[in-house]
Amino acid sequence: MLRHPKKKHRQYLYQGDPLAAPPPPELETILERHRGRDDALITVLEEIQNHYGYLPQRQLQYTARELGLPLSRVYGVATFYNLFHFTAPGRYMVRVCRGTACHVNGSRQIIHALKDKLAINEDESTPDGLFSLQTVACMGACSLAPVLVVNDNTYGRMSPESAVDEMEKLKRENAILDAEVRA
Amino acid sequence: MELKLITANLGKINPSSIDDYLAHGGYRALQRVCDATETVSFTHDLKAAGLVGRGGAAFSTGLKREMAIRAEPTHPYPAPEWIPERYRYSSSFVVCNADESEPGTFKDRLLLEGDPFCIIEAMTITAFLACATVGFIYLRGEYPLAYERLTHALRVARERGYLGKRILRDDFAFDIEIRRGAGAYICGEETALFESIEGKRGEPRAKPPFPTDKGLFQRPTIINNVETFANIPFITLEGAQAYRRYGTKQSPGTRIVCVSGAAQKPGAYEIEMGTPLRYVIEELAGGLKPERTLQAILIGGAAGVFLKPDEIDVPLAFESLDAIGATFGSGAIVVLDDTAKMWGVLLRLARFFRNESCGKCLPCQIGTQRQLEILERMTQGRSRKLEQTDISPEELRLLRDTGAVMRDASLCGLGQTASNAILSAFDKKLIL
């Protein structure tokens, strides 16, 4: 009689609830002030992003549990708003304004120049983790058009050349900072 | 003419010093309201002054306040459980809409950065008249400096007793919270803004019920734009007659216009209503760069209307702009000279609405997408400077149909106005 070869079973080991441990202390301090208040969700997400630089999945799961919300609601809100990211951004978040005034003054050329310079597309980061590129609808600085915003600093009246120069400057600044940290 | 009524303090006072604000007549209006024996006259005054909302919809501010004051309280005590505890006992709310995301508009940022106490005072006055104990400022996430200054101003006002319990009299308590937006154009729509404050996706609600009946947390809510609030201390202090001295008969007062684009001196200028557009562009904003000619003017932001160069003499007031089928909108004026490529601008506008549509109602969700696709088909494979005759009539009809459906069937202002600028460019034959 032919015997069937014994089926190999993959071993699934239940390792317990991944959220069984209490939230990490830094998250705890953020959640503490807002526990049980579902209206504070956006504020909490903002604080988490300020701390980690982006919204890590595990932290969102903790948030949902601690605020007493379904995870789908947390993700629904987090994906709705443009300022939230789900992957770690570069050290310099470069945002190019694409509002009407900036467009008329040549922001399209700037974004092309930056794409060439950094060799990335919109919503991507350079492999060295230094730069991320984003476009925004309007920064509310139209009298300085075209505008470039790096982290929270606004650079007005840019041209493709000066935008590329700024990237060079930031790169040098970063190299100096790194050297200081190492020293 | 340029007239500094509400921007008088900008650049003159230190925005982080309440003493400076007090020295320039600050909190006199609130004092007057708190000392008055009856308060109905202030709302009547506001109505008589003819102040209309400066955010874009141009609804009478006085009427809005009156409706909110008269609204039936929807949730009598005991207050419902689902409202967060700290807001449960405010019978109404005062909200300041500082989510200024309209491309080409930056007046609210200047007001909040330059004179934050003025907005706080105006909100406190409104709260006193509407018996609200909680107010919100919904600030755009992209304005870090305004956030810093407002947070500081709120802290100082609390320390000095202009916010908190017992403001100027024993029976008045009011406090303001700042909520920061997270980058969504749609949250400038009032009901979407409420959803966002409540911690949800910023999707607009169906109206009616209007915010004055069921707004934030289903309570009567007075929501005004930053610039509208900035007018309130003046009207409260000086009265309707004094306010009506400025501007035209139907549009009293002043307006802040934000000139950007190809002008020599782009910036925000406060003008008396009825000032000709030509004066604003040529005198205040310094005209075009040498050897350039005017191609078009986009007035009212992305949801506004294009004007032809020969319409530059129109007086900037609600009634005269209405007469030529334009809108004042948020006060944005984008000047396009002959180097600007109209097709590029139109594609940019269409893409903006496609990206910013929240997706709740279908006419807008699909319409903005189709609008962009039609425009892309029109431009495909052709040079940007194509002849008028090259636009196929079927495509143009489709574009108009899409626009009409969006205007009639969309839930909120975003969809209703998404086709305005694009269709006006075709109507006025600005596309060559």
pLDDT, one tens digit per residue, over B3-42 is: 888 898 888 999 999 999 999 999 999 999 999 988 889 9
pTM, full prediction: 0.91
Please say whether the beta carbons of A20 and B177 come within 8 A. no
Q: State pLDDT tens for residues B52-73.
A: 999 888 899 999 999 998 887 6
CA A103 to chain centroid, in Å, comes to 25
Task: Give percent of chain B above pLDDT 70.
Answer: 96
Contact A145/B at CB under 8 A: yes
Mean pLDDT of B243-262: 93
* Averaged confidence pLDDT in chain B: 90
Spatial CB neighbours of B193, under 8 Å, sequence gap ≥ 6: B95, B97, B99, B138, B187, B202, B223
| List of chain A residues whose C-beta atoms are within 8 Å of the C-beta of residue B84 | 37-40
Task: Give percent of chain B above pLDDT 90.
Answer: 72
Residue-level pLDDT at B77: 61
Of A39, A46, A73, the CB nearest to B180: A46
How does residue A38 score in pLDDT terms, banded at 50, 70 and 90?
confident
Q: How far is A148 from chain B (nearest CA, A)?
A: 12
How does residue B2 score in pLDDT terms, banded at 50, 70 and 90?
confident
| List of chain A residues whose C-beta atoms are within 8 Å of the C-beta of residue B336 | 104
Residue-level pLDDT at B381: 54
Q: State pLDDT tens for residues B279-295.
A: 999 999 999 988 899 99
Mean pLDDT of B202-207: 92
How does residue A94 score in pLDDT terms, banded at 50, 70 and 90?
very high
| List of chain B residues whose C-beta atoms are within 8 Å of the C-beta of residue A45 | 182
Residue B315's DSSP bridge partners are B276
Of A39, A105, A140, the CB nearest to B197: A39
Please say whether the beta carbons of B80 and A77 come within 8 A. no
Contact A142 B183 (CB under 8 A): no
Of A83, A141, A149, the CB nearest to B106: A141
Contact B201 A145 (CB under 8 A): no
Residue-level pLDDT at A36: 72
> Is the torsion defined by CA of B379, B373, A105, B266 positive or negative?
positive
Residue-level pLDDT at A3: 65
| List of chain A residues whose C-beta atoms are within 8 Å of the C-beta of residue B345 | 100, 103-104
Please measure the distance between the N-terminal and C-terminal CA atoms of chain B and give it in whole angstroms: 34
More confident residue, B151 or A87: B151
The Cα A23–Cα A29 span in angstroms is: 9
Please say whether the beta carbons of B319 and B251 come within 8 A. yes
Q: Pick from B81, B108, B58: which is nearest to B256 by CA? A: B108
CA-based nearest residue in chain B for residue A152: B144
More confident residue, B123 or A181: B123
Which residues between 43 and 62 in chain A have a beta carbon less than 8 angstroms from any beta carbon of chain B? Answer: 43, 45-46
The Cα B335–Cα B104 span in angstroms is: 10
Q: Is the pLDDT of residue A183 over 90?
A: no
Contact B336 A104 (CB under 8 A): yes
| List of chain A residues whose C-beta atoms are within 8 Å of the C-beta of residue B185 | 137
Mean pLDDT of A82-99: 90
CA B385 to chain centroid, in Å, comes to 35
- Read off the amino acid at residue A4: H
Of A41, A101, A140, the CB nearest to B199: A41
Contact A42 B355 (CB under 8 A): no
Residue B94's DSSP bridge partners are B135, B222
Helix (H) or strand (E) holding B178: strand B175-180
Q: Residue B281 corresponds to which tokens in the numbers above?
A: 């562009």
Mean pLDDT of B190-218: 92
CA-based nearest residue in chain B for residue A40: B199
Q: In what order do the strands lie in the sheet with B294-299?
A: B267-272, B254-261, B332-337, B294-299, B305-307
Residue-level pLDDT at B378: 85
| List of chain A residues whose C-beta atoms are within 8 Å of the C-beta of residue B141 | 46, 83
Please say whether the beta carbons of B96 and B229 come within 8 A. yes
Q: How far is A49 from chain B (nearest CA, A)?
A: 11
Residue-level pLDDT at A81: 92
Please measure the distance between the N-terminal and C-terminal CA atoms of chain A and give it in whole angstroms: 75
Residue-level pLDDT at A17: 76
Contact A43 B180 (CB under 8 A): yes
Contact A98/B at CB under 8 A: yes
CA-based nearest residue in chain B for residue A84: B182
Contact A100 B141 (CB under 8 A): no
Contact B201 A140 (CB under 8 A): no
How does residue A12 score in pLDDT terms, banded at 50, 70 and 90?
low
Mean pLDDT of B373-381: 84
Compute the count of residue pairs across chains A and B with CB atoms less than 8 Å apart: 128
Residue-level pLDDT at B28: 94
Contact A104 B262 (CB under 8 A): yes
Kind of pairing between the strands at B294-299 and B332-337: antiparallel
Q: State pLDDT tens for residues A141-172.
A: 888 889 999 988 899 999 999 999 999 999 99
Contact B199 A143 (CB under 8 A): no
Domains detected in chain B: 18-244 (3.40.50.11540), 254-337 (3.10.20.600), 347-427 (1.20.1440)
The Cα A72–Cα B432 span in angstroms is: 48
Q: Is the pLDDT of residue B133 over 60?
A: yes
Q: Is the pLDDT of residue B384 over 60?
A: no
Of A39, A84, A136, the CB nearest to B199: A39
Residue-level pLDDT at A20: 80
Neighbour tally for A116: CB within 10 Å: 11
| List of chain B residues whose C-beta atoms are within 8 Å of the C-beta of residue A141 | 106, 109
Q: Is the pLDDT of residue B75 over 90?
A: no
Give the C-alpha distances (Å, rounded to integers) separating A48 from A34, A58, A129, B382, B413. Answer: 12, 11, 20, 47, 32
| List of chain B residues whose C-beta atoms are within 8 Å of the C-beta of residue A137 | 101, 103, 185, 352, 355-356
Residue B97 backbone dihedrals phi, psi, to 5 degrees? -85, 100
| List of chain A residues whose C-beta atoms are within 8 Å of the C-beta of residue B102 | 138
Residue-level pLDDT at B1: 75
Q: Is the pLDDT of residue A174 over 70?
A: yes
Helix (H, G, I), strand (E, B) or coil at B412: coil
Contact A84/B at CB under 8 A: yes
What ipTM describes this predicted complex?
Answer: 0.86
Contact A130/B at CB under 8 A: no
- Read off the amino acid at residue B189: E
